[in-house]
């Protein structure tokens, strides 16, 4: 039976729940499964089998200590140094695992360590997706405020996002006669809300000094996507889940048209497939685009956020989520599906090896 190492530990019971569910499901499936946190690799348990599948989860302890509130820029998601620490951390983890198991085991990573941090760099992610032929959002290179504001029209606004953030934090939207940010505004400067706080949007219309401050940091400027009018006075996007070479599930996030984003934190409602009402042609486009993105990231497990621009014929990858949250298990049990896929993969591998041995 397969060996599985689950690496990571949540900083709350809620953030730990998917790791624990995966561990429990793997045990019930009869897998040789172990679980430990990143700081415990040197004393990680032994395994019975020569090949170990390694499932990385988000390193909450490291991120909270070194990256969430950067010491150099002070503004969430804008520190290149914090990102590089995060990126290099996974390479250190890979080296630690090689020292612990490399002499006696083959390690198969579901999420490759060299790609684990890439989605936290929005500019590098977009460049990587485009280099792999994937349609994504349109960014604007200039950091000149006057030039940026000239790109805002009554029909289409702009987003200024922190380059190295996630979870819907560090977003500023510029629309015709309305500017809003979900950084905290204290006097004449931008600052952060707490790690586990909600990040509500504040009206900053006309406050150019705040935009100048923001543009002096590491940010990405993107054109707003004009979502098709599939729902009256509402906008939507798609979260698709890739496991191996399949897209077993996706759901639609729907929010009021005047909301800045469709994140859960902004009150979005969820429609799970097959309740989305999308036709087969549209679903095929979603799955093809999600699979192509996962292949570009060399990942066997990825969340892909897809948005349609102008019409249902123009899907774009908005973001990818290396450490994606799992869907509601009552709607789709991703944990059970993932474990089933691992067992099936092992069985296929064993059959292949038996056939090779028989020919020899």
User: What pLDDT, in 10s, does the model give residues 44-87?
Assistant: 999 998 999 999 999 999 999 999 988 899 999 999 999 999 99
> How much is the pLDDT for 258?
79
Task: Give the separation between CA 68 and CA 228, rounded to whole angstroms.
Answer: 35
Cβ count near 94 (within 10 Å): 19
Does pLDDT of 35 surpass 50?
yes
Convert the pLDDT of each residue in 107-146 to its tens digit. 999 999 999 999 999 999 999 999 999 999 999 999 999 9
Q: Left (φ > 0), alpha (ψ -120 to 50) or beta: where does 18 sit?
A: alpha
Among 246, 261, 168, 19, which Cα is nearest to 183's?
A: 168
Encoded tokens for 217:
């940091």
> How much is the pLDDT for 188?
93
**260 and 283 co-located in one domain:** yes
- Write down the pTM of the prediction: 0.92
Residue 133 lies in a domain: no
Among 126, 320, 125, which Cα is nearest to 241's?
A: 320
Residue 123 lies in a domain: no
Task: Give the separation between CA 281 and CA 176, rounded to whole angstroms.
Answer: 35
Q: Using the 8-state DSSP alphabet, how is residue 157 labeled?
A: -
**170 and 271 co-located in one domain:** no
Out of 190, 223, 256, a domain closes at 223
**Beta strands 234-243; 246-256: pairing state:** antiparallel
> How much is the pLDDT for 262?
78
Does pLDDT of 352 surpass 80?
no
Among 160, 178, 196, 177, which Cα is nearest to 64's?
A: 196
Task: Give the separation between CA 227 and CA 314, rounded to whole angstroms.
Answer: 10
Task: Give the separation between CA 360 and CA 206, rounded to whole angstroms.
Answer: 76
Does pLDDT of 354 surpass 50?
no
> How much is the pLDDT for 24?
97
Does pLDDT of 167 surpass 90?
no
Encoded tokens for 194:
């707490």
**50 and 80 co-located in one domain:** yes
Mean pLDDT computed over 163-179:
94
Q: Which of 10-14, 103-107, 260-264 has the lowest mean pLDDT?
A: 260-264
Q: Which of 25-34, 38-47, 259-268, 350-359 has the lowest mean pLDDT?
A: 350-359
Mean pLDDT computed over 321-326:
95
**44 and 144 co-located in one domain:** no
**8 and 63 co-located in one domain:** yes
Q: Is 359 exposed, middle or buried (0-12, 13-18, 19+ CB in 10 A)?
A: exposed
Kindly state the helix (H) or strand (E) to which residue 334 belongs, with its residue range: helix 334-359
Going by C-beta distance under 8 Å and a sequence separation of 6 or more, which residues neighbour residue 33? 3, 4, 5, 6, 23, 26, 27
Task: Give the separation between CA 250 and CA 274, rounded to whole angstroms.
Answer: 9
Mean pLDDT computed over 192-201:
87
The 3-state DSSP class for residue 179 equals: strand
Does pLDDT of 263 surpass 90?
no
**240 and 311 co-located in one domain:** yes
Residue 125 lies in a domain: no
Residue 122 lies in a domain: no
Q: Left (φ > 0), alpha (ψ -120 to 50) or beta: where does 141 sit?
A: alpha
57 within 8 A of 180, measured Cβ to Cβ:
no
Out of 223, 241, 270, a domain closes at 223
Q: Using the 8-state DSSP alphabet, how is residue 138 labeled?
A: P
Residue 12 lies in a domain: yes
**186 and 237 co-located in one domain:** no
Calculate what percentage of the chain has a pLDDT beyond 70.
Answer: 95
**36 and 75 co-located in one domain:** yes
Identify the band that residue 349 occupies on the pLDDT scale cut at 50, 70 and 90. Answer: low
Q: Using the 8-state DSSP alphabet, how is residue 255 labeled?
A: E
**58 and 104 co-located in one domain:** yes
Residue 124 lies in a domain: no
Domain around 63: 3-114+335-359
Residue 102 lies in a domain: yes
**Beta strands 219-223; 32-36: pairing state:** unpaired
Among 75, 86, 87, which Cα is nearest to 215's?
A: 75
**306 and 344 co-located in one domain:** no
Task: Give the separation between CA 98 and CA 220, rounded to whole angstroms.
Answer: 36
Convert the pLDDT of each residue in 198-207 to its tens digit. 899 999 999 9
Identify the band that residue 170 occupies on the pLDDT scale cut at 50, 70 and 90. Answer: very high
Q: Mean pLDDT score of the chain, rounded to an integer?
A: 92
Task: State how many domains the chain has.
Answer: 3
3 within 8 A of 49, measured Cβ to Cβ:
yes
Does pLDDT of 94 surpass 50?
yes
Calculate what percentage of the chain has a pLDDT beyond 90.
Answer: 81
Residue 28 lies in a domain: yes
**256 and 172 co-located in one domain:** no
The 3-state DSSP class for residue 332 equals: coil
**247 and 313 co-located in one domain:** yes
Q: What is the b/e burial string over 129-153, where b = at least 16 CB atoms within 10 angstroms of the residue's CB? A: beeeebebbebeeeeeeeebeeebe
């Amino acid at each position: 039976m397969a060996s599985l190492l689950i690496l990571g530990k949540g900083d709350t019971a809620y953030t730990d729940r998917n790791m624990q569910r995966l561990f429990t499901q793997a045990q019930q499936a009869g897998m040789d499964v172990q679980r430990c946190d990143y700081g415990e690799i040197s004393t990680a348990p032994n395994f019975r089998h020569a090949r170990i599948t390694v499932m990385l989860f988000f390193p909450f302890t490291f991120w909270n200590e070194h990256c969430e509130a950067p010491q150099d820029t002070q503004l969430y998601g804008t520190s290149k140094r914090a990102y590089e620490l995060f990126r290099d951390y996974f390479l250190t983890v890979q080296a630690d695992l090689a020292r612990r198991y490399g002499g006696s085991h083959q390690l198969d990573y579901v999420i490759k360590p060299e790609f684990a941090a890439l989605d936290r760099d929005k500019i590098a992610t977009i460049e990587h997706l485009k280099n792999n032929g994937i349609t994504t959002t349109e960014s604007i290179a200039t950091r000149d405020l006057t030039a940026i504001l000239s790109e805002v029209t009554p029909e289409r606004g702009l987003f200024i996002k922190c380059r190295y953030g996630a979870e819907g934090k560090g977003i500023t939207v510029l629309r015709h006669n309305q500017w809003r940010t979900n950084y905290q505004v204290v006097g004449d400067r931008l600052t952060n809300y707490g790690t586990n706080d909600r990040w509500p949007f504040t009206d900053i219309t006309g406050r150019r000094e705040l935009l100048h401050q923001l543009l002096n940091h590491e940010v990405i400027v993107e054109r707003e996507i004009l979502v098709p009018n599939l729902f009256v006075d509402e906008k939507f996007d798609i979260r698709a889940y890739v496991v191996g070479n399949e897209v077993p599930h996706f759901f639609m996030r729907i929010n009021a048209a005047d909301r800045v984003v469709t994140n859960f934190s902004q009150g979005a409602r969820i429609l799970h497939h097959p309740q989305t009402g999308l036709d087969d042609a549209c679903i095929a486009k979603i799955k093809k685009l999600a699979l192509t993105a996962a292949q570009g990231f060399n990942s066997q497990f990825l969340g892909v956020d897809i948005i349609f621009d102008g019409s249902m014929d123009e899907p774009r990858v908005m973001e990818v989520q290396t450490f994606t949250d799992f869907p509601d298990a009552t709607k789709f049990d991703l944990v059970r599906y993932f474990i089933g896929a691992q067992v099936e993969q092992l069985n296929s591998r064993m059959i292949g090896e038996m056939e090779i041995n028989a020919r020899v």
